[in-house]
Every structure is written in C-alpha cells, then in structure tokens.
Amino acid sequence: MVEKFSHDIAIVGAGAAGLRAAIAAATFSDKLSIGLLSKVYPMRSHTVSAEGGTAAVLKDYDSTDLHALDTIKGSDYLADQDAVELFVREAPSEVIQLEHWGCPWSREEDGKLAARAFGGMSVKRTLFAADKTGFHLLHTLLQHSLKYPGIVRYDEWFVLSLAVEDGAVRGLVALDLRTSELAFVSASAVIVATGGAGRMYQFTTNGVIKTGDGMAISYRAGVPLKDMEFIQFHPTALPGTGILITEASRGEGGYLKNKDGERFLSRYTPEKMELGPRDILSRALVQEIREGRGFEGPFGAYLLLDLRHLGEKVIDSKLPFVRELALNYAKIDPVKEPIPVRPAQHYTMGGIHTDVNGRTPLPGLYSCGEAACVTINGANRLGSNSLSECLVFGRRAGQDAASFALSRRERDHNPGGDRSVSSVQYVSLAEEKMNRLLKKEGGQERLAEMREGLQSLMETKVGIFREEKGLREALREIRELKGRLPSAKVDDRGRTFNMEMVHAFELDFMLDVAESVAYSALMRQESRGAHFRTDFPKRDDKSLEGPDKGQEVPPGTDTRELLPGVRSKVPSEDVRLGCTQLRE
Amino acid sequence: MFVLDALNYASDWLDGSLAFRWSCRMGVCGSCGALVDGTPRLTCAAPIPETGEKVVIEPLHNFPVQKDLVVDIGDFMEKLGRVEPWIIRERERALEEGEYPQKPEELEKYDQFSACINCMLCYAACPVFAADKEFIGPAAAALGYRYNLDSRDEGATERLDLLTGGAGAFDCTFVGECSIVCPKNVDPALALQRIKIDAALTSLKSIMRRGK
C-alpha cells in the first residue's frame, strides 16, 4: 500500500531558493497547499555556508545598469542579458523584503544597510550579515515560513524521481528516510530547488548533501540541462577540507601572496588585484603553484591569504567566521598569521534550463537557485550574485507556479490536479531500484571507492584546466563507473536511516550530472569564463550565435545548442581574460 | 582529524550501515551533534586527541534515538514554530519605503541570539529538558526572545506569553549548561533569565495599571 500525498505545489529542496519559492506561493494565495520536501532539515541546506553577502543596488552611488554590466562582463558575455536586467532590477526589493522579515543585516552608523566590495563588482554593493550572510538568510526564511499554514514540510524526505504524464509533470516519488517507505506526492506544479553538484569534485567548498539530485531527476524526465561545462572554482578554500574562506576577506582588503611574499595578482589582473573575478583568480593561483611559487603542505600546494594588516578589530567585526574557521580547521589565527588557501570547486553555473519565471520546457516543472540555469551567470558567476539569484528567481518561480497550480485547481476541482496519474507505476520503479540495493547479495567494490574515483577524475580531468584527451578519458571513466555502480557492495539492509542507500542514489545522480559536465566541456572548443581548454585557449565569439530561446526542446537534445538569445546587447570586449595572456 | 572524519572513515571503509548526520563540516549547518566523551559537541569541530586515546561517541541525550547517532528533533521544530520566530508589526512597511533603520547598537542587542544553528547541543545538556520534554528549552526560547529584542518587532508582549506559558521559561532553573556547550557562543541561559524578568515586569506593569 503506497502512501499518497497531494499538494498544489511540491517544492524539492528547502534552502534559500526553495523557501523563498514556498513563501511566495503561500502569499500568492492562502488556498494553496504547498509541500516542501528536503532530504535534510531546512536549516541544514547548503545556503547556510554562504558567507560574503548578497548583491543588490541600494546605494545612491550605484545603478542597476552598472550591476548588469558587471554581471555580464563577469559571465564572460554568456549571460542572458535580458534576464540579467530583470535580475538586477528585482534584487534590491528582495534584500529589503528579507530585511522586513528580520534578517540581521550589518548596518552603517545611521542604521542603513552596509555594503562591502566584492570580486568583479565595480562598486560596494554586496549587502551582508557579518560573514554569515547565507546562514542568516536561511534561518530568517525558515523562521518566517513557519507563519504560513499552507506550507507543509517533509523534513528528511529524499526525492527520487518525477512523474510525467501527458506531457506535464504530475508529481514525484519520495523516500521517507526514517522508514525507507516510498510515497507518491501528486502536485500540479513541482519546483526543483536542490542546489548544485559540487560533491562530484574532490576539493569542494560544498557540503556533502550537494549531489545534483534535482538536476539528475529533471534530466531523466527529459528536461535539458544547460551550460553544464561551467564549474566555478573559488580561489580561497582551506587545503584538505575545502572549507570556504569568503571572498569578503579580500573585499575587506586581504592580500593573496606567494612564497616570495609577492602579491602575485599584479601579474595577472593588475587593476582589480584581489577583487578580480573568481575564474581568473583561480587560474592565477594554479599557475603560481605550477611555476613553483606555492608552498608545499600535507594536502598539496597552497598560497597565502594575508589579513593581518586589517587588524583584530576589523577581522572580528567583519570577518568573525573566517577567524573561527581558520582557528578551528587550520589552527591559524588570521590576526597573527596568513591563512593557507587553494582553489576548490564552489558552484555550478549550469543547471536545469529555465526562463525568467523558473519555467522549464516541461509544463508544470520549475526550477530556481543553483539547480537552475536562467542564465544570469553565464560562464562565470560573480560572488554575492547567487544569494540574490535564489531570492529573485525563487520568488518568481513560486509565484508563477502558484498561478499555474491555481488554474489547474479550478479546472480539476482538487488540489494536486488530475488524480488519474498512475502513481503506482512510478513508485514501483523506484521500489525496484531500492530493492536491488537492499536485497543484493555479494558485491565487491565499496561505494566510497567509486565516489572517490569520480571525485578524483573530475578534479584532474574536468577541473580548472581541461583538454580533449582528458575529457574523453573522463567521459569513458564516468560511463564505466555507471556500469559498475549496480554491483557495489552494500552493508546496510535496514530500513531506518539507511544512509548508505541514500549515498548510492546520490552517486547515481552525480554520475549523470558529471557526464553532462564532461560532455559539455568536450563539446565547447573555446575558453570562456570558468571553462578553460588548454587546446583551445582563446575565446571564440562565434559560439554565441546559437538558436534563440523559446525553441522546441525534444528530450535528449544536445543542450549545448540551447544558448538563450539576447547575449549581444553589451558587445563582448576583446580582452577580458587574464587566461589567454597567462598561457603565452 | 576530527571525530566526524573518523565516523566517515568507519562508514566508508568498515561498516556502511553506520548512521549519522552531517553536511557542511564547517560548524554552521548544525547537523552533526553527538556526545563526545560525554560532552555534547559538533563532531566536525571536535578534534581527536593526537595522543591516541579512545574517544567515546554517543547520540545526543534527551532525544529519541532513531538509529546510531541520528536522533529525532521533530519536537524542537514544533517548539520553534510555537514561539513565533518572525517579525510581528501592526503596520508593515511597503517595500518601496526601504529598510527599517537599525543602528549597529540595536543590532548588537539581539545579534548573539540570532547566531543559534539549531544543533540541539543545548537540549542534550539541559537537566530541565531531561526531566520534562514539554519544556520549551534553550534554543527555542533564545530564538523567540531574539525577536523581542529586535527594534523592528512589535510582538514582544504576545511572544512573552508564548515563551512563559505551559512548560515555559519559568521552568528553567538556571543551571547554565546550555550556554557552556553552545558551539556558537550564544547564551540561551541569559535569554531565559531575561524572559523571566521581562515577563515579571510586564505583569507588574499591568497590575499597577489596574491599580490606578
């Protein structure tokens, strides 16, 4: 007997984007029933780890045109410029909305919101709550969401697949982690807000939960993934763990130094120095290390982030979390010593193909946040645009889904729409997959071995620098891993919090996402933003001339062809990248 | 090397059935709490002694254990909702009117209480909660009280009733263990004492008003 739930809207993922969407839908109409599913309690979502801030134009000296221009330049001209314009126009009111809901933003002496400098932003426009902006944003959203009886939470429910019938999404299959029971959740609209897929890399700032689940289930439902080759590496993470040391530490004036004590960025991005875009900085760090100007440590080579000249007072008031992290996890007090740093995977620019209302090509299916690709980030996201993106597009997706679900409800006279969906069929498919794991005898290879295999091949072959040979090898190895996964050795046969089963599903999802990243990286024969091909080190603007958006997308289409239109209002500059010079 | 690293090693290479929660491994998601040698700790921030002594890891006290280190915190989520942890105002500003000004010293008043990561270490350490599971407890009380201290909020009176009603703040015996174990230097014991004082003052004021 399969348990069934019915909602107007089902939201998968309860980080900033998912919660913002839920609240938007709940305020759109109190008639709506909203199911909010997450494989973790909402406050564990990875939004919690965002540190530096949220970009929005709220100062007299700033303008939305300038924010748009910075974002488009930062994207290496791949962003959808119409989407960027809309994004920068709506970001300020979202920040104010969060302020009205109680977010403890840091303030100026006069009580106004304080703004700080950030990489690629030409003026101070990053609003912040000390260096725990994501944490405060997430908790504010969660606490505020408790006000709405229309939002029904399913904490620690893991969504395994989407149900698609008659060309529209009808619901989803979810696993209750407490019991391993499967349930069918019918819904007129489903919003996927599951974040990125950083855990397919060995060194990542991402939490362990970021395994690309939503991207994979959408892809399997025939929805295109877009711009997947663009993986952001953050220049400053702690070696070994990959713990993020926020860009705000450079925004507040920190220096990057090599073994000779030199601020080496003067050779790569002399004008912007430490506040250059992340793609350029990450490549510069790797280059320094390759040329022997890094330090050797137990976790490989690293460089230094020096905050000492900022003084204890600034560090404690503006960067308290950086001090705490460095003390706890690197045994370094940044007031007295520089912090060892190296680049680590940080963000997936690509994701589920959506328009500015979060709609995917599959009717009823929406996506927002890091899981989605609108795209405002193009080939490289600017720091502090991602929290704003979660808010702006979370709200838009929530509202559009609400209006869509209401129209369905009027037509079908019940929440969740058409009941004729063959839910049993979807559940039994998931059940079969689960039982293959739980009841399987034998098996040799441990899941951890396969996961580490994936992480290491992504790191070395689909990392900061890529070339055809490595990418082809990576693709072959990923496909091989896919073949081996069903024969993994599984210890846990129980049904209560079987985390091993969860990790097996996650790895299964990650392999699909990794394949799409490696494939897209192989296909893009140019270097742009975060995607650097050593065999094609120059940017090729002919690649921008793709088909326009709104085009029909049959499942299985080579999605790299689906460049959204309107990318040419701001003409691309001849030289933006430090990378081409860097190679010569 | 932290306790969490050891747990991961064990589940990756020795026994995949070991169940424990974790995500950020940087002390902010709040999911990896456990008793380490009898003390509630975030396992991601609890170092393993280099001297090679044995470390005993147990699930957090005072919660129903679901499996291994996984405990049921559903009760806390319900209590959190009960204290109305959101801004209450008679008239809400329109977005076009901009932010509510809040000076740094006004932010300072509630800032530390907003740093709670809901890790449940304080509930595991609280003797009152151990004896009475109805007790509102340190984190929910501090998070509710955080809004009472927020210059943007007008719901303090309503929330004080919620914070002191039933097995509320007055049940706290001020042992202070909650504040000692907090990994984020929140002082929930202080919040609980101040809730008591605020509630006493409020009822005193209403008695005096009636007397007039």
CB burial readout A58-92, b (16+ within 10 A) else e = beeebebebbbbbbbbbbbbbbbbbbbbbbbebbb
Sequential DSSP letters for B15-83: -TT-----S-SSS-S---EEEETTEEEEGGG-BPPTT-----EEPPTTS-EEETTEE--HHHHHHHHHT
Residues B114, B10 share a domain: no
- Using a CB–CB cutoff of 8 Å, tell me whether A144 touches chain B: yes
Residues B198, B108 share a domain: yes
Angstroms from A93 CA to nearest CA on chain B:
6
Residues B187, B82 share a domain: yes
CATH number of domain containing B138: 1.10.1060.10
Last residue of a domain, one of B55, B71, B87: B71
On the question of pLDDT at A551 being above 60, the answer is no
Residues B66, B26 share a domain: yes
Nearest one of A254, A313, A321 to A116, comparing CA atoms: A254
ipTM higher than 0.90?
A: yes
Mean pLDDT within A327-340: 96
Quickly state the pLDDT bin for A557 (edges 50, 70, 90): very low
Residues B178, B89 share a domain: yes
Q: What is the mean pLDDT of chain A?
A: 91
Last residue of a domain, one of B13, B45, B71: B71
The strand pairing partners of A159, in sequence order, are A174
On the question of pLDDT at A542 being above 80, the answer is no
Residues B34, B67 share a domain: yes
Count chain A–chain B contacts defined by CB atoms under 8 A: 155
pLDDT the model gives residue A257? 97
Per-residue pLDDT tens digits for A493-541: 999 999 999 999 999 999 999 999 999 999 999 999 999 999 999 998 8
Quickly state the pLDDT bin for A416 (edges 50, 70, 90): low
Residues B37, B140 share a domain: no
Residues B207, B165 share a domain: yes
Phi, psi of A489 (to 5 degrees): -85, 130
For residues B185 and B32, give the distance between their C-alpha atoms in angstroms, rounded to a whole number: 17
Mean pLDDT within B98-127: 98
Angstroms from A42 CA to nearest CA on chain B:
10
Q: Supply the residues of A annotated as catalytic.
A: 234, 250
Mean pLDDT within A104-112: 98
Residues B58, B79 share a domain: no
Q: Which two tokens stand for residue B27?
A: 């002390």
Mean pLDDT within A561-576: 44
- Tell me whether the omega of the peptide bond preceding residue A375 falls within 30 degrees of 0, making it cis: yes
pLDDT the model gives residue A440? 79
Per-residue pLDDT tens digits for B138-161: 999 999 999 999 999 999 999 999
Residues B194, B98 share a domain: yes
Q: Which two tokens stand for residue A300?
A: 């490989």
- CA quadruple B120, B125, B130, B131: dihedral sign: negative
On the question of pLDDT at B196 being above 60, the answer is yes
Percent of chain A with pLDDT over 90: 85
For residues B202 and A506, give the distance between their C-alpha atoms in angstroms, rounded to a whole number: 53
pLDDT the model gives residue B178? 98
pLDDT the model gives residue A323? 96
pLDDT the model gives residue A419? 54
Q: How would you classify the pairing of strands A532-533 and B33-36?
A: unpaired
Percent of chain A with pLDDT over 70: 91
Q: Are B146 and B192 in contact (CB under 8 A)?
A: no
Quickly state the pLDDT bin for A413 (edges 50, 70, 90): low
Residues B31, B13 share a domain: yes
Q: How far is CA B13 from CA A119, A335, A360, in A?
A: 40, 39, 40
Quickly state the pLDDT bin for A552 (edges 50, 70, 90): very low
Last residue of a domain, one of B43, B71, B99: B71
Q: Are A238 and A245 in contact (CB under 8 A)?
A: yes
Per-residue pLDDT tens digits for A455-485: 999 999 999 999 999 999 999 999 999 999 9
Q: What is the mean pLDDT of chain B?
A: 96
Q: Which residue has the tokens 């960025």?
A: A265
Per-residue pLDDT tens digits for A292-325: 999 999 999 999 999 999 999 999 999 999 999 9
A286 burial via Cβ count (<10 Å: 0-12, 13-18, 19+)? buried
- Using a CB–CB cutoff of 8 Å, tell me whether B152 touches chain A: yes
Contacting B residues, span 104-123, partner chain A, CB-CB under 8 Å: 104, 106-107, 110-111, 114-118
Per-residue pLDDT tens digits for A195-239: 999 999 999 999 999 999 999 999 999 999 999 999 999 999 999
pLDDT the model gives residue A584? 26
On the question of pLDDT at A248 being above 80, the answer is yes
Those residues whose C-beta lies under 8 Å from the C-beta of residue A1, and which sit 6 or more positions away, are none
Nearest one of A184, A180, A132 to A162, comparing CA atoms: A184
On the question of pLDDT at A344 being above 70, the answer is yes
Residues B127, B200 share a domain: yes
In A, which residues are within 8 Å of B80 by CB distance? 143, 146
> Which residue ranges form the domains of chain A, and what is each CATH number?
3-231+347-421 (3.50.50.60), 236-346 (3.90.700.10)
pLDDT the model gives residue A424? 85
pLDDT the model gives residue A544? 67
In B, which residues are within 8 Å of A492 by CB distance? 16-17
- Residue B9 CB coordination number (10 Å): 12
Backbone φ/ψ region at A294: left (φ over 0), alpha (ψ -120 to 50), beta: beta
For residues A43 and A45, give the distance between their C-alpha atoms in angstroms, rounded to a whole number: 5
In A, which residues are within 8 Å of B109 by CB distance? none
pLDDT the model gives residue A412? 72
On the question of pLDDT at A555 being above 90, the answer is no
pLDDT the model gives residue A581? 30
In A, which residues are within 8 Å of B88 by CB distance? none
Quickly state the pLDDT bin for A577 (edges 50, 70, 90): very low
Quickly state the pLDDT bin for A580 (edges 50, 70, 90): very low
Per-residue pLDDT tens digits for A20-34: 999 999 999 999 999
Q: Which two tokens stand for residue A213?
A: 């689940």
Q: Which domain holds residue B115?
A: 74-211
Mean pLDDT within A254-280: 95
Four-CA torsion A372, A378, A382, A388, nearest 10 degrees: -30
| Domain total of chain B | 2
Nearest one of A561, A534, A535 to A548, comparing CA atoms: A561
CATH number of domain containing B63: 3.10.20.30
Mean pLDDT within B110-134: 98
Phi, psi of A234 (to 5 degrees): -85, 130
Q: Which two tokens stand for residue A71?
A: 């974002």
